[in-house]
Structure 1
Amino acid sequence: MAYVKNTLAPGEAYLYRAHFNWTYDVQSWFWLAFSAVPAGMWIEAAARHYFAHEPFGHAYLFFAGAAMMLGAVIFFSRYIHKWTTVIAVTSLRLILKTGLVARSAHEVTLTEIEEVLVRQTFLGRLLGYGVLSVHGTGGARIDFPVLGNPTRVRREIETAMMRARGLSKQNA
């Protein structure tokens, strides 16, 4: 959000910010919980002294620890991606900024957008998520991550495009 506010031109207004769908959080928590299952099983077995003198217990401990570490890495990398991704519509531009240490920003002027495509699967329609793809003049293309309520995001972009071009819905 600070990136967008710091790059606003004089007279440019911040209009809308898109968000990830709730299913993104569910997937992140699933990976953390799924990776905790082997660790929980090992803790249970260790508490009952099942692996007291078996080499299998040490191998399983290694597996459980590796699974937990992998799950934690997936969980935190997904949340860092979510926290550092900004999808914003201003009165002049459409912005997709990603990255924590290294920043990648894709911006397209609203007057140069040719089409906004929404792709939703059947499950995406039921759960309210989809993917947006914006095509601009000169072959510019921005593919957005999975967003919540992509039809509203498209409507916000198209409304801002009409305002930027000096059109109103009555004239269109």
Structure 2
Amino acid sequence: MAGYIEKRLYEGETLRYQGQFHWLSHFRAWLALIVLGIVIFGIVFFIAEQIRLRTTEFAVTDRRVVLKKGLFSADVQEITLDSIEGSSIRQGVFGRIFGFGHLSINGRGETHIVFPVMANPATFRAHAERTKQSTPSEGPV
């Protein structure tokens, strides 16, 4: 099943890498359902978390880095690969052990994308950098 980003690629654009949530994100929702399932709050939290996890996408294409959030309305943030000026990863002790963390990609000027907690943020960043280096930059038109 094609996701939001895959359906909206530009002509000639290819998807290079699709980021994923870490399994602990899903575990947190299931734990809330099991522990708090007796209370309505647990069920509501479980449903809300599943909707968030299933409607958030982040990917690297051969032209840009994209983050899409939202169920009924789409909040799409993107930075073209040639506009990326830097990135940072935030991982705590458990994030380093279990392989999850926050990734922030900075573009020119005030442009930046802060991704939700994801599995292997260093791998996502490496794919963006590798794709940026392998994509021929366009000269003056």
Specify if TM > 0.5. Answer: yes
Q: Please say if residues 120 and 131 of structure 1, whose CA atoms lie closer than 8 Å, have aligned partners that are also in contact.
A: yes
Contiguous gaps of at least 5 residues in structure 1: 40-66, 167-172
The one-letter code of the counterpart of 1:155 is: A
DSSP-derived class of the 2:116 partner: strand
1:138 Cα offset (Å)? 1.7
Q: Does 1:27 align with 2:63?
A: no
Q: SS state of the match for residue 100, structure 1?
A: coil
- Is 1:93 the counterpart of 2:64? The answer is yes
1:106 aligns with 2:107: no
Report the number of matched residues: 136
1:20-75 CA-partner distances (Å, limit 9, x unpaired): 00110111111111113xx3xxxxxxxxxxxxxxxxxxxxxxxxxxx2x1111111
State the superposition RMSD in angstroms: 1.2
**Structure with bigger gyration radius:** 1
SS of equivalent residue, structure 1 residue 139: coil
**Runs of 4+ in structure 1 displaced over 6 angstroms?**
none
Structure with the higher helix share, 1 or 2: 1
| SS of equivalent residue, structure 1 residue 25 | helix
CA contact (8 A) 1:111 1:165 kept: no
Distance (Å, rounded) in 2 between the aligned partners of 1:143 and 1:165: 26
Find the aligned partners of 2:6 and 2:17 in 1 and give their Cα distance. 12
Compute the displacement of 1:7 (Å): 2.1
The Cα shift of 1:165 comes to 4.6
TM-score (norm 1): 0.75
Aligned with residue 145 of structure 1, among 92, 116, 123: 116
The gaps in structure 2 that reach 5 residues or longer are none
Percent of aligned positions with the same letter in both sequences? 34
CA distance in 1, matches of 2:3, 2:58: 12
Name the structure 2 match of 1:84.
55
With normalisation by structure 2, the TM-score equals: 0.91
1:100 and 1:10 map into 2 onto residues whose CA distance is 25
Equivalent residues of 1:111, 1:164 under 8 A apart: no
